[in-house]
Amino acid sequence: MNWRLCIVLLILAGTLVSVNDGLADGPSEAGVIFLKLVPGTRPAGMGEAFVAQADDATATWWNTAGMGFLTRQELALMYVNLLPQFHLDDLYYSFISYVQPIEYWGTVGGNIIFTNYGKTEGRDENNMPTGTFHSYDVAFTAAYGTALKMDRNGKPLQKGLAMGVAAKFIYSHLADQGAGAEKGSGVGTSMAIDIGVLYKEAFIRGLSLGATLTNMGPAISYIDRAQADPLPMTIRIGGSYKLMNSEFNELIVNLDFQKELVDRYDDGKAVPFYIAMFSSWSNNDLTNEIEGVIPNIGMEYWYNRMVGLRLGYYHDILGDRFPLSFGFSLKYSSYEFDFGYVSAGEGHPLTDTMMFSLSLGI
């Protein structure tokens, strides 16, 4: 691969995942970082705080337990041009998700994520051109969620506990072949599991609590297993509270906390995920571990379930990201159009990121 693809991937790593300080591990040590890009214009407009709400088709990514409370079929589509400050029209992220409730059983669904990095001119070890190749990442996910309490018609009650699980196949095509004298290709595959829980009406009316553990799976390698990169395994916990819930007005406030659970041995090899989920809590000093927990906060207001407004913020110290996000929705019948915008300060790669999504209830 040449400088263009390398720069794009480094910028994405530096702006979309945590970056540690000099006493820590440096940039995120995970591979396939596109799995950390959040789908759904609604959650993006709420500062990426959605794990305890997860009430639409994007629940296949956000929290599969939220699927258990869904009562209708829904299709969601999303598109976003990444790193707009660099004006790379062929660098984009797209997401499609579908959910299908089944009476007495719960909800099944799935999603497809496609991230395009564009075409790149390859170079050999002598810096001679070797042709043009196309770089992209894609993930296919199948998901299931169910509420533990249902009515006599087999539909979920909107309270109590729900659980969910998802399995995904990951295909990463960064180059047609290894760079220079490297053996192998620039193609890697892996598989991963997500799990989630969601408790509605927890302790007090209007309060929901949720948690997920995502991207649990073997490291992905492109050249050989010794150079394999761990998947961006992440834990999220959060709460969602309805401050207002009347006939025409609804106001929800969400608060999430997330942490990437990735670790490597001293020789640079990836620690297996089933060990890293524990060792990653103590592989740096205490201050760094605390700063590695990212808080996300957001709110969503609906008027008559036709017009929605959103505001959000997250505080990523290690990643040097402190963006404000905004959004709105227009809903008519079973159609919903969502728009989101991120402002991270002048010159920041995330600034002016605009997201568009369309949802169709069936």
Between 308 and 27, name the one with better pLDDT: 308
Distance of alpha carbon 21 from alpha carbon 26, whole angstroms: 6
Q: Which helix (H) or strand (E) holds 11?
A: helix 3-16
| Euclidean distance between CA atoms 26 and 20, whole angstroms | 5
Q: pLDDT by residue (tens digit) across 37-50?
A: 999 999 999 999 99
Q: List beta partners, residue 99.
A: 74, 109
Please say whether the structural domain 3-361 has been given the CATH code 3.90.1150.200: no
**CA 314, 316, 322, 323: dihedral to nearest 10 degrees?**
-50
**Residue pLDDT, tens place only, 78-131:** 999 988 877 778 889 999 999 999 999 999 999 999 999 887 766 666 666 666
pLDDT surpassing 90 at residue 287? no
* Residue corresponding to tokens 């998901």: 143
Structural domain boundaries in the chain: 3-361
What pLDDT, on the 0 to 100 scale, is given for residue 26?
Answer: 42
pLDDT at 24 over 60: no
* Interval 121-140: pLDDT, tens: 666 666 666 667 788 999 99
Tell the burial category of 5 from Cβ atoms under 10 Å away from its Cβ (0-12, 13-18, 19+): buried
How far is Cα 214 from Cα 36, in angstroms, rounded to an integer?
10
Residues in Cβ contact with 239 at an 8 Å cutoff, skipping those fewer than 6 apart: 52, 207, 208, 209, 210, 254, 255
